[in-house]
């Protein structure tokens, strides 16, 4: 700080102090000069010395540094009455030291100048007595030393001096100490009351202290009537008013005594003096005490009000419910938290009682708590529930105490705490504890990675006990499977995202390395600093094994363990890419076992599976390690040969040799458990590596070549001939035209008669034909597969069914055809339609066909998928009168269980069995078996493909009496069919 500023501040302080010293000396001199005008003992001692009170008050307000003002005032006032300089100095010194002693002691004991407590009045009296004793002692001693006072008079003089100073302190000091704007404003606010007080006090003071009575002491009772006025001034005007009134009455009383008039003018001068002092002290103390008592009362009231407001604030703001009830349970007071807990409004709660909120199941507990309340004055804490306004129960904890009201009645204060969250927290902690001991391994570390805790699952997975791991770090579990970059990326993820998860390999206590899926999460405190890491770990050994198995199932045939179609296509794609790059050549061999279906039908599928496994072994032994043999499904296998040779002709020769070798291997007998089985195969071959081939084209080419081998008599091989592609292209063109054929109404129905043993026509089967504008009539064998590939079979089937029903309705109007039934083939795709039943019913409704004359033929393959759904649809149609026949029986998966549950009327023997029934004993046995089976199930049976009379006679002997075939008629148009009927 700048020295000039410091000097300026010091000058200001000194200037202010000097002014205060001068003011004090002037006030001291003026009050002393007036006081000495009415001396009591000589010219130096008066009845009341007000300058003593002025001095003490000034020291308390302005500090002890202004003591020179006291000394100067006392010195000058004594000089003014003719005292010598020495005597004036001695008396001034005594006045100064006495005032310093009194003010110093008051500061030490914590005196408050506002006089808010009774102790402040007591301390002022004590300080006045102590300090003025010193002042009186020095002053009387000075008078004695100056030969102004004889020794015998020093005792009474000292007492007078001391009492005058004490009374002066008690009268003047409170007035000066409390003289401030606030107290003066209090007087200014009640001017009328002040005037009234003065008008009352003035005559009373006159008659009590100035008026001359006929006998001494006659006005003594009047003197003490001034005390109520002093008390009234204290109550109405505060401490300043009390001090002024006490000072005024005391001065008037002193004047009366000095003039020999009034109350205290008695014959005995000492008694008069003591009565006056007693009155002055009583007056001063009365005013001070009344004021202090009033202040204390106000402070108590203010404190009580503050406490009440605080309590009311706590009551209203408390998160806990607080309620006051009487002993009958009626709610008298309650806070907002209580209303929130209950869900009621304030008016609703006042209309309720305690028991309306308490479920009956708590009656016994309530009785115990009430007994505790009456016995000890408190109850709880205990837990219970309230029934809220909404009807739900809320868990609570209650505490309460018994209180006595102003009316003497007992009441209960209760604290109600909603413990829903606590209950939920406890439940969550319980769940967390259970979760911690779940089947998932859990490890908790501190921020430095030191293990703090593990659960039982982690211990079981790792083989370590908790005691062995706590205090260690996860590095103990390292397997060495991962490098440092792996762990660096892991911790980088944790630092940036707070979490990491992935597969990691660790080492068990026994040294075994195992995989697990681990998630590491960082936990942070409120300051955002990581405090812990939590790791959850799942042993995925079994999952990894399962994944390997799934991978095997995805890429390998489960029966033969050969690569499946997916893996073959992947390797073929690689082979094509490699041949383009390296100009290598390869071959694709498509192998299909001959008559494999017959093996399944005669010896069973288990023997068929054994054959497929042995075929896979033989094929694998016939190729090199770099080649691939795969099973596509069923009895189809594919061999992919790589880098056979660089010359295409040589490649064909070499592949042919390999193909012949494979045929010879497959011609060797197979031992199927105890059965020896002879098998053959047909092989189609295509070469690749010379042109831009695609996988699909290669497979189609090999497949076509394989069918050429079958057409060549089976047990042989054929290379793909480009002329085959011409046939394929023609087939594809036909497929494209099929859509237009359906739209342009190029399809027609032909009808093949069905006859009984007497050659009577019972009905017919509706067979679709394509009336091609260029190629003429195309049979269904050529376009039905295409329709199935294109997804047109349902649309085609619907057209066939509706056309057949129209024909059936037309026949019903003619006498020679109204008895006929009409069989219509239904594809598996049609049966899978959700609204198939509705479609059939809608067609019947539109055409008017008799449903009892409609017979739907389904194949055995229709029953292999969604069997229950198919049966349900058949049942619904049967309930409408529609009949069902099982077509091509014996060629598929014939299940007796399904046959018993199906709503069938008839079995239809497939033409493949009828064709060779006279030459093939197996076919003959199958036919007889089918007929016997039908009879045992109470089903009709009809044979299709009957072309000779010998076949019909055999069938009749076997028990089959209904026939269909060229022996009677080929499928013919409707007009020719009616002609056929009339000619019979």
* Residue 1: predicted pLDDT: 47
Q: Which helix (H) or strand (E) holds 163?
A: helix 154-178
Please say whether the dihedral angle defined by the alpha carbons of residues 862, 868, 871 and 876, taken in this order, is positive or negative: negative
Among candidate residues 984, 927, 969, the one with its CA nearest the CA of residue 764? 969
* Residue 769: predicted pLDDT: 92
* Residue 891: predicted pLDDT: 62
Please say whether the beta carbons of 475 and 507 come within 8 A. no
| Radius of gyration of the chain from its Cα atoms, rounded to whole angstroms | 64
Please say whether the beta carbons of 400 and 373 come within 8 A. yes
* Residue 897: predicted pLDDT: 60
| pLDDT 10s digits, 718-770 | 888 766 555 555 655 666 677 778 778 888 999 999 999 888 999 999 999 98
How many other CB atoms are found less than 10 A from the CB of residue 349? 20
How many other CB atoms are found less than 10 A from the CB of residue 679? 20
Helical residues (DSSP H) of 779-892, grouped into ranges: 780-790, 793-811, 828-832, 836-847, 867-878
Among candidate residues 857, 845, 844, the one with its CA nearest the CA of residue 883? 857
CA 334, distance to chain mean position in Å, is 34
Give the pairing of strands 675-677 and 883-889.
unpaired
Residue indicated by tokens 């990675």: 449
Strand partners, 677: 670
Please say whether the beta carbons of 599 and 680 come within 8 A. no
At 271 the three-state DSSP class reads: helix
Distance, first Cα to last Cα, the chain: 143
Angle at 56 between CA 51 and CA 58, to 5 degrees: 90
954/917 Cα distance (integer angstroms): 8
- Burial readout 371-403 (b: 16 or more C-beta within 10 A, e: otherwise): eebeeeeebbebebebeeeeeeebbbbbebebe
At 249 the three-state DSSP class reads: helix
934/950 Cα distance (integer angstroms): 22
Residues 6 or more apart in contact with residue 619 via CB below 8 angstroms: 562, 591, 629, 637, 639, 662, 665
Angle at 87 between CA 85 and CA 90, to 5 degrees: 110
Q: What's the token pair of residue 818?
A: 């109204």
| pLDDT 10s digits, 501-511 | 888 988 988 88
Instruction: Spell out, as residue ranges, where the chain has pLDDT lower than 70.
Output: 1-13, 37-45, 184, 186, 211-224, 257-272, 311, 313, 427-438, 546-547, 550-552, 645-650, 690-692, 722-736, 789-790, 861-866, 890-898, 984
**Maximum Cα interatomic distance, the chain, rounded to a whole number of Å:** 188
* Residue 435: predicted pLDDT: 56
The torsion angle over the Cα atoms of residues 571, 573, 577 and 579, rounded to 10 degrees, is 60
pTM for this prediction: 0.39
124/112 Cα distance (integer angstroms): 10
- Omega before 351 within 30 of 0, i.e. cis: no
* Residue 4: predicted pLDDT: 63
Helical residues (DSSP H) of 318-412, grouped into ranges: 336-342, 346-350, 354-357, 363-376
Q: What's the token pair of residue 577?
A: 């890419």
Q: What's the token pair of residue 588?
A: 């694709």
76/94 Cα distance (integer angstroms): 14
For the chain, helix (H) and strand (E) counts, in that order, are 36, 28
Reported in sequence order, the residue ranges of 693-760 that DSSP labels E, i.e. its strands, are 717-719, 747-755
Please say whether the beta carbons of 977 and 751 come within 8 A. yes
At 487 the three-state DSSP class reads: helix
Please say whether the beta carbons of 32 and 73 come within 8 A. yes
Residue indicated by tokens 């319980």: 430
749/733 Cα distance (integer angstroms): 23
């Amino acid at each position: 700080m700048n020295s000039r500023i410091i000097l300026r501040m010091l000058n200001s302080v000194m200037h202010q102090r000097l002014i205060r010293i001068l003011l004090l000396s002037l006030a001291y001199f003026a009050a002393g000069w007036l006081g000495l005008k009415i001396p009591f003992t000589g010219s130096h001692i008066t009845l009341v010395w007000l300058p003593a009170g002025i001095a003490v008050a000034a020291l308390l307000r302005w500090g002890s540094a202004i003591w020179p003002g006291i000394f100067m005032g006392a010195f000058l006032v004594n000089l003014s009455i003719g005292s010598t300089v020495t005597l004036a100095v001695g008396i001034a010194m005594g006045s100064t030291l006495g005032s310093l002693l009194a003010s110093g002691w008051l500061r030490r004991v914590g005196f408050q100048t506002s006089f808010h407590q009774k102790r402040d009045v007591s301390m002022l009296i004590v300080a006045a007595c102590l300090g003025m004793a010193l002042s009186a002692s020095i002053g009387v001693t000075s008078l004695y030393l100056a030969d102004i006072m004889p020794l015998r008079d020093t005792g009474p003089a000292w007492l007078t001096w001391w009492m005058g100073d004490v009374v002066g302190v008690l009268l003047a000091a409170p007035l000066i100490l409390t003289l401030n704007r606030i107290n003066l404003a209090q007087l200014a606010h009640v001017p009328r009351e002040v005037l009234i007080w003065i008008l009352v006090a003035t005559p009373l003071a006159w008659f009590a202290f100035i008026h001359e009575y006929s006998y001494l002491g006659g006005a003594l009772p009047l003197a003490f009537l001034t005390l109520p006025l002093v008390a009234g001034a204290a109550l109405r005007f505060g401490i300043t008013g009390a001090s002024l009134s006490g000072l005024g009455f005391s001065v008037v009383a002193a004047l009366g005594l000095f003039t020999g008039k009034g109350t205290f003018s008695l014959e005995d001068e000492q008694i008069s003096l003591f009565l006056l002092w007693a009155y002055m002290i009583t007056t001063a103390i009365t005013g001070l005490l009344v004021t202090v008592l009033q202040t204390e009362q106000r402070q108590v009231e203010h404190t009580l009000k503050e406490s009440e407001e605080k309590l009311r604030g706590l009551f209203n703001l408390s998160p806990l419910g607080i309620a006051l009830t009487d002993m009958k349970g009626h709610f008298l007071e309650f806070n907002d938290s209580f209303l929130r807990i209950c869900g009621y409004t304030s008016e609703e709660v006042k209309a309720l009682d305690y028991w309306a909120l308490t479920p009956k199941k708590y009656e016994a507990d309530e009785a115990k708590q009430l007994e505790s309340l009456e016995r000890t004055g408190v109850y709880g804490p205990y837990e219970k529930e309230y029934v809220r306004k909404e009807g739900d129960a809320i868990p609570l904890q209650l505490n309460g105490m018994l209180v006595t009201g102003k009316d003497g009645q007992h009441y209960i204060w209760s604290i109600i705490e909603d413990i829903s969250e606590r209950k939920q927290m406890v439940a969550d902690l319980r769940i967390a504890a259970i979760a911690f001991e779940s089947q998932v391994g859990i490890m908790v570390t501190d921020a430095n990675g030191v293990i703090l805790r593990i659960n039982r699952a982690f211990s079981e997975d790792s083989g370590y006990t908790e005691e062995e791991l706590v205090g260690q770090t996860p590095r103990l579990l390292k397997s060495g499977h991962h490098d440092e970059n792996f762990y660096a990326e892991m911790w980088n993820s944790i630092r940036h995202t707070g979490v990491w998860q992935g597969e990691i390999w660790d080492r068990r206590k026994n040294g075994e390395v195992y995989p697990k899926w681990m998630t590491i999460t960082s936990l942070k405190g409120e300051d955002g600093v990581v405090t812990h890491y939590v790791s959850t770990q799942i042993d995925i050994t079994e999952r990894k094994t399962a994944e390997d198995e799934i991978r095997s199932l995805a890429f390998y045939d489960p029966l033969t363990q050969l690569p499946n179609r997916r893996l073959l296509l992947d390797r073929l794609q690689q082979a094509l890419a490699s041949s383009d790059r390296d100009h290598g050549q390869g071959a694709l061999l498509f192998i299909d076992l001959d008559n494999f279906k017959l093996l399944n039908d005669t010896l069973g599928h288990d023997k068929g599976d054994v054959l497929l496994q042995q075929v896979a072994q033989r094929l694998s032994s016939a190729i090199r390690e770099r080649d691939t043999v795969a099973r596509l499904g069923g009895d189809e296998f594919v061999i992919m040969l790589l880098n056979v040779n660089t010359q295409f002709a040589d490649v064909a020769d070499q592949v042919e040799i390999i193909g012949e070798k494979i045929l010879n291997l497959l011609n060797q007998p197979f031992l199927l458990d105890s059965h020896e089985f002879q098998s053959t195969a047909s092989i189609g071959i295509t070469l690749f590596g010379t042109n831009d081939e695609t996988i699909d084209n290669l497979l189609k080419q090999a497949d076509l070549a394989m069918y050429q081998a079958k057409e060549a008599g089976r047990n042989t091989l054929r290379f793909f001939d480009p002329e085959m592609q011409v046939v394929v292209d023609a087939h594809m063109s036909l497929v494209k035209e099929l859509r237009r054929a359906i739209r342009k109404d190029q399809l027609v129905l032909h009808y093949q008669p069905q006859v009984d043993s007497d050659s009577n026509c019972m009905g017919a089967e509706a067979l679709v034909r394509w009336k091609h504008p260029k190629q003429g009539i195309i049979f269904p064998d050529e376009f039905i597969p295409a329709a199935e590939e294109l997804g047109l079979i349902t649309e085609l089937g619907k057209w066939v069914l509706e056309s057949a029903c129209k024909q059936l309705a037309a026949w019903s109007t003619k006498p020679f055809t109204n008895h006929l039934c009409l069989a219509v083939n239904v594809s598996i795709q049609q049966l899978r339609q959700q609204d198939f039943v509705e479609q059939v019913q809608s067609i019947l409704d539109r055409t008017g066909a008799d449903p009892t004359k409609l017979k739907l033929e389904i194949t055995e393959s229709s029953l292999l998928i969604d069997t229950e759904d198919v049966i349900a649809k058949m049942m619904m149609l049967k309930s409408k009168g529609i009949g069902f026949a099982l077509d091509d029986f014996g060629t598929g998966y014939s299940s007796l269980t399904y046959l018993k549950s199906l709503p069938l009327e008839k079995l239809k023997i497939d033409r493949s069995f009828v064709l060779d029934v006279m030459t093939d004993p197996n076919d003959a046995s199958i036919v007889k078996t089918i007929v016997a089976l039908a009879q045992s199930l109470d089903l009709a049976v009809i044979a299709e493909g009957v072309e000779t009379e010998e076949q019909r006679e055999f069938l009749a002997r076997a028990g089959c009496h209904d026939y269909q075939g060229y022996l009677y008629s080929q499928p013919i148009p409707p007009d020719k069919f009616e002609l056929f009927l009339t000619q019979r």
